[in-house]
Chains A and B, each alone.
Chain A
Amino acid sequence: QDNGYARLLRRQVEEVFRDNRMIAVCQYNSMPGEDVVLMRYYLRKHNIEVKFVLNEIIRPLLSQSKYKNLLPLFVARNILLVSPELKAKEMLRVLKGVPQINLLGACIDNTILSRKGVENLAKLPSLEVSQGQTVGALALLPSQTSSLLQCGSAHLTALLDEHIRRLQAGETGSPAEPAPAQSSG
């Protein structure tokens, strides 16, 4: 249809998909009004907005965009949970307390994920922790190599030190002991 309201809704939906990194599609089963307000409040705290969508508006839009694979999700009543940040863990935690909303799938950073994918994403450690773990793993091999290379000369140095100490002890006290055998190092 080309009436103004439909155009406005279409524009809003296009904006939503353009401006947000995380767009989660959930089935909406009827909920009492206060519960909807509470849920919106808790999600807003994590910068996640709740958007009610009409299938007739969103289906033609999606079929012509790169989000074609989200089309089968849009039957029955749905809502979108959108956020410019990736707050998968917090979103799942809030949704656990709302049994009437069922997460179907999400499009996060232009990647379409199933419900299991979102749960796995929530379990991943944060970016800084993963970077730290990668750096640690990469640094492990060179540090092992350097300690292996230094091992021989370090051992030789230790043996020579011991030898010197015994010689000095031998000068001050009893006669010099025979030098310890050279190690193969």
Chain B
Amino acid sequence: KMASQIRVVLRPVKSIVVRFCPFESNVESTRKFLGCINHKKIQATNRNCEVTADVRHDGSEPLVDVMFADGERLIMKGANLTTLEMLTALGSRCSAKELKEEQKSKKKS
């Protein structure tokens, strides 16, 4: 499926909160994103990353709130994004952080 094709390494991620109102009509991509994030391949990259689903009923926009370990925060508003776009955005940021970490550890050693 989609989740196994896109490589997302969750190591630099501390927590992911997916907020949506299931009775609204613009939540499909956000819900599919939640399903993909829970895929075992992606979960296996970081067992300590907490993925929570915040199910509301207040007409608020679907939202993905990613908190990284270095304090950075990524907020994706899912109403006008596809699942693929959200996954690639998260994946690219994660790999960028991974790269930075590797370079830092190389410099130290």
Contact = CB atoms under 8 A, between A and B. Distances in A.
Interface stretch (B49-57, B64-72, B88-96, B101-109): B49-57
A32 B38 CA distance: 11
Interface string A12-35: 000000000000010111101000
Contact of A76 (B28, B40, B51, B57): B28
A9 B2 CA distance: 27
| Interface of chain B: mostly helix, strand, loop or mixed | mixed
A30 B39 contact: yes
Contacts of A69: 23
Main secondary structure of the interface of A (DSSP, over half): mixed
Nearest to A25: B22
Contact of A29 (B23, B38, B55): B38
A100 to B, nearest CB: 6
Contact of B55 (A30, A72, A100, A102): A102
Contacts of A27: 22, 31, 34-35, 53
A25 B23 CA distance: 11
Interface residues of A, number: 22
Interface of B: 22-25, 27-28, 31-32, 34-35, 37-40, 51-53, 55-57
Interface of A: 25, 27-30, 32, 69, 72-73, 75-77, 99-100, 102-105, 114-117
